[in-house]
Copies of this chain bind each other. A is one copy, B any other.
Amino acid sequence: MLLQMEVNRLDFYIGLSLAVSSSVFIGASFILKKKGLLRLASKGSMRAGQGGYAYLKEWLWWAGLISMGTGEAANFAAYAFAPATLVTPLGALSVLVSAVLSSYFLNERLNVHGKIGCLLCVLGSTVMVIHAPQEEEVSSLTSMAEKLRDPGFIVFAVCVVGSSLVLIFAVAPRFGQRNVLVYILICSVIGSLSVSCVKGLGIGIKELFAGTAVLKEPLFWSLIICLVICVSIQISYLNKALDIFNTSIVTPIYYVFFTTSVMACSAILFKEWLSMTTDEVVGTISGFLTIILGIFLLHAYKDITFSWDSLPLYLRKGPQVFTLTWSQRVSPGSSESVPVCLG
């Protein structure tokens, strides 16, 4: 029993480090892809958002895809070792990595808000890691199959498939180009199924290494097929969203919707919340909300430059002059400087 707990704890730390390193790769992939798409746009090719596929010829886009692939593989492995309620929210760190890299490679300067947002992401993630359930909920493909047959999960899966079909065929053609939520909702809702498949496959592969004949089980192959379908849909719609809208709006909204949807799915499928104390549940939710606020700050005020210089304002008396500078990243030439006299 004590040995089993030790193994669980080791698994937890392996899963944790895989999740963190996957965030680095995924964060970098957003920047590479965006740089590739921007380069294509400057060449005048037909854009992904309008149905073009020219991005397949751009090596930067492929580098992004490979980085994302590596990240997703690490993420995949992380799910086999640690609970989804821990791994998915840690994706926030990829937002942080992408924010820091943006400031270097896409000339998007990180302002005071961005820095506070990054700190909040780290603090929220820390609190979530402390509170996340440490025990593995499923340890074999057979027990996974049982969980998948649970009526609660079947209802959830039917709702997910139904709502994404409605979004893809009825809503996306009409509102997809104007409203950023449509494409992101499709990715997020489908994403909860991908994570379930990944979790099942990860456990299957772990069993395979342990010598079980999982390759003969039809469930293993159905999970692979389901995963390929889900991930293709996700990649396609995430590309469309990234091409039409700013990375700084796509990334945070995608994070919030995707994580919420995975946590809901994980709660229904693995019922990991039932074994948690009230304190742990409250702590996990507080951590998640802190991350969301951090991501909001990181992105919502990204185009307004606040410097520390404007802060000691309140420490002085009498008339004060301070300057705020706005700059828009898409057209970096158009920054304006507005001196304002107060008092």
Considering only CB atoms and an 8 Å cut-off, how many residues of chain A contact the other chain?
A: 44
Measured in the bound complex, the distance between the Cα atoms of B289 and A264 in whole Å is: 29
Please provide the chain A residues from 115 to 164 with a CB less than 8 Å away from any CB of chain B in the complex: 116, 119-120, 123-124, 126-127, 130
A293 touches B120 (CB 8 A): yes
B-chain residues with CB within 8 Å of residue A306 when the two chains form the complex? 301
Asked whether A293 lies within 8 Å of B343 as measured between CB atoms, the reply is no
Q: Which of A7-15, A16-24, A307-315 contacts B (4 or more CB under 8 A)?
A: A307-315
CB-CB < 8 A to A290: which residues of B?
Answer: 120, 123-124, 290
| Nearest Cβ on chain B to A112's Cβ, whole angstroms | 8
Contact of A340 among B246, B293, B311, B326 (CB under 8 A): B326
Q: Does A238 sit at the interface, judged by CB under 8 A?
A: no
With a cutoff of 8 Å between Cβ atoms, the chain B residues found around residue A248 in the complex are: 314
Separation of A289 and B340 alpha carbons in the complex (Å): 33
Q: Is A315 a contact of B126 with CB atoms below 8 Å? A: no
Q: Does A300 interact with chain B (Cβ within 8 Å)? A: yes
A286 vs B291: C-alpha distance in the bound complex, in angstroms?
A: 12
B342 and A326: CB pair below 8 A? yes
Of B287, B300, B313, the residue contacting A127 (CB under 8 A) is B287
What is the interface of chain A, defined by CB distance below 8 A to chain B? 116, 119-120, 123-124, 126-127, 130, 179-180, 245-246, 248-249, 279, 282-283, 286-287, 289-290, 293, 296-297, 300-303, 306, 311, 313-315, 324, 326, 328, 331, 334, 336, 338, 340-343
- Please list the 10 inter-chain residue pairs (A to B) with the smallest Cβ-Cβ separation, ordered nearest first: A249-B314, A123-B286, A130-B279, A126-B286, A246-B314, A127-B286, A123-B290, A328-B342, A130-B283, A127-B127
